[in-house]
Amino acid sequence: MRTAYRCRAYPTPEQAAVLNRTFGCVRVVWNRALAARHTRWHTERKATSYAETDRALTEAKKLPELAFLNEVSSVPLQQTLRHQHAAMTAFFAKRARYPRYKSHHGRQSASFTRSAFRMRDGALSFGKTPGALAFVWSWSGIDVTTLDPTMATVTRDPDGRWFVTFAVDVEAPAAPVPTGQVTGVDLGLTDFAVLSTGERIAHPKHMEQRERRLKRYQRMMARRKKGSANRAKAKQKVARAHSRVRDARRDFLHKVSTDLVRRFDAIAVEDLAVANMVRNRRLAKAISRTGWTDFRGMLTYKAHRNGRTVAVVDRWYPSSKTCSTCGHLLAKLSLGTRHWSCPACGTRHDRDINAAKNIMVAAGLVETRNACGADVRHDGQPFVLSAVNQETRPVKVGDPGP
Ligand SMILES: [Zn+2]
């Protein structure tokens, strides 16, 4: 199993110069290869292999105008071609969008495999870069002097902060003890998530303040004259505010996903098809802000790593409108209705908790604690229709895919 440690790094000006040059070369190699793939696809309808891009790189290095590619370590250049190939494979498998060109405005990165860096007694150095790169190790439980990474990736964020990420192969941890607990999770806009246990997980605090600050800086930057020193200063502020928003959100998503995987053997979530929903402009901002896609990704890999299960329920399943007690299906439930009473069995429902319970049941999950059936619907007929229903389709359960 592979795990990664991300640390703040503090390169000396000399090291920063070499690494910045490396980033530039990585960008050139990535963009040239992407353009070549694109052209070839549109003229010959042929996909390009990694080996072909690697050969093209060898040829490119002989061109006088690209001779500068020889001045940096060749490993990150090959690595970026490998990454691109993986990105293309993911695209063709419909798992990811088409890879984009790299710009010098975005996050810069260079990956070094074992042949291109040295890690000895906790000191990290790279080929063609002077001295050891200073970084902050913050895992007190792990002795950095014994760390044996297979890859080291140096990144520079748009706000100017540097990081180094160590990839390490570790033995898979022993499967955690089953907790006997399962849950359905309803992701929402009012609360970040509501569990079938009745628990509510609020959105991260201070997020709106952070976003307001970011907007203010963006407006400030827009008012500054292009190319001016003040504009550059404002730009730094925007980038920093941006990192703050992103980091806070990521911390939150990590915390929630880790907690759920620790507490539950199986977790059911709805397939939200965020990509489709995001086309609705009004919802788009709210949804992308909550980070549902990232959350599901984290949940899935952590569950996989810990021997837990994530089940995904088809997005057409009417989880909000179905009574989790008797299975009665409402004809209509407006978005603003937070509570409702079932006309068939009289149960009073909280909209979100009811949805979470249905998601759990639809995924085939049963609380083992309630094996007597107190909370579980099973009359063999999942839906009792009270009106013409426009959106029932079979419930899909299983591997959520990558
Ligand atoms: Zn009912």
DSSP-derived secondary structure for 31-91: HHHHHHHHHHHHHH-----HHHHHHHHHHHTTSGGGGGGGGS-HHHHHHHHHHHHHHHHHH
What pLDDT, in 10s, does the model give residues 358-374?
A: 999 888 887 644 333 33
**Which residues, 6 or more positions from 31, have their beta carbon under 8 angstroms from its beta carbon?**
101, 102
| Whether residues 251 and 310 fall in one domain | yes
Whether residue 192 sits in one domain with residue 50: no
pLDDT digits (tens, 9 = 90+) for 168-179: 987 766 777 888
159 & 278 share domain: no
Question: Residue 286: is its pLDDT beyond 80?
Answer: no
> Span 105-115, mean pLDDT?
93
Which residues constitute the domain of residue 311? Answer: 180-203+244-402
Out of 111, 143, 169, a domain closes at 169
Where does residue 40 fall: left (phi above 0), alpha (psi -120 to 50 degrees), or beta otherwise?
Answer: alpha
Q: Answer yes or no: is 324 within a domain.
A: yes
Do 267 and 118 belong to one domain? no
Query: pLDDT-based confidence at 152, cuts 50/70/90?
Result: very high
Residue 289 lies in a domain: yes
| 169 beta partners | 2
Number of domains in the chain: 2
Q: Do the domain assignments include residue 187?
A: yes
Average confidence (pLDDT) over 179-192:
88
Q: Which of 157, 211, 352, 367 is catalytic?
A: 352
Judgement on whether residues 391 and 340 belong to the same structural domain of the protein: yes
> According to the model, what pLDDT value does residue 277 have?
58
In total, the chain counts a number of residues equal to 402
Residues 88 and 132 in one domain: yes
Q: With 80 as the cut, is the pLDDT of residue 392 above it?
A: no
pLDDT tens-digit readout, 29-81 = 999 999 999 999 999 998 899 999 999 999 999 999 999 999 999 999 999 99
Torsion of CA 209, 210, 211, 217, to 10 degrees: 110
Specify the higher pLDDT residue, 90 or 369.
Answer: 90
For residue 120, is it within any domain? yes
For residue 11, being part of any structural domain is answered with yes
**Do 117 and 189 share a domain, yes or no?**
no
Does the pLDDT of residue 393 top 70, yes or no?
A: no
What is the CA(348)–ligand 1 centre distance, in A?
8
Better-predicted residue by pLDDT, 51 or 278: 51
Tell me which of 186, 211, 265, 367 is the catalytic residue: 186
Cβ proximity of 319 and 401 under 8 Å: no
Q: Are residues 161 and 265 in the same domain?
A: no
Give percent above pLDDT 90 in the chain: 48
User: How many angstroms is it from 322 CA to the middle of ligand 1?
Assistant: 8
What's the pLDDT band for 390 if we cut at 50, 70, 90?
A: very low
List the beta bridge partners of residue 348. 341
**159 Cβ partners below 8 Å, 6+ apart?**
236, 239, 240, 242, 243
Tell me, in angstroms, the distance from the centre of ligand 1 to residue 315's CA. Answer: 22
Q: Which of 157, 211, 265, 270 is catalytic?
A: 270
The yes-or-no answer on residue 52 being catalytic is no
DSSP 40-54: HHHHH-----HHHHH
Residue 399 has pLDDT above 90, yes or no: no
pLDDT band for 397, please (50, 70, 90 cuts). very low
Which of 120, 143, 169 delimits the end of a domain? Answer: 169
Is residue 197 located within the same domain as residue 123?
Answer: no
**Distance (Å, whole) CA 269 – CA 297:** 12
Average pLDDT over residues 194-217: 89
Determine the distance separating the centroid of ligand 1 and the alpha carbon of 365, expressed in angstroms.
Answer: 19
Residue 231 lies in a domain: no
**Distance from C-alpha of 5 to C-alpha of 137, rounded to nearest angstrom:** 9
Nearest C-alpha neighbor of 126 from the set 161, 169, 74? 74
Are residues 151 and 256 located together in one domain of the fold?
no
Report which listed range, 280-284, 292-296, 345-349, 392-396, is most confident: 345-349
pLDDT number for residue 342 = 93
Average pLDDT value over all residues in the chain: 84
Residue 121 vs residue 369, higher pLDDT:
121
Cβ-in-10-Å burial (0-12, 13-18, 19+) of 9 comes to buried
Name the pLDDT band for 149 (thresholds 50, 70, 90). very high
Residue 225 inside a domain? The answer is no
270 catalytic? Reply is: yes
Residue 288 has a pLDDT of: 65
CA of 381 to the centre of ligand 1 (A): 13
Looking at this protein, which amino acid is placed at residue 267?
A: I
pLDDT in tens, 331-368: 888 878 899 999 999 999 999 999 999 999 888 887 64
Query: Is residue 212, in this structure, part of any structural domain at all?
Result: no
Supply the pLDDT for residue 94.
Answer: 75
Same domain, 356 and 273: yes
Which range of 8-12, 226-230, 375-379 scores highest in mean pLDDT? It is: 8-12
Mean pLDDT of 190-207: 89
Stretch 278-301: mean pLDDT: 74
Residues 35 and 132 in one domain: yes
Instruction: Single out the residue of 296, 299, 266 nearest to residue 365, CA to CA.
Output: 266
What pLDDT is recorded for position 376? Answer: 36
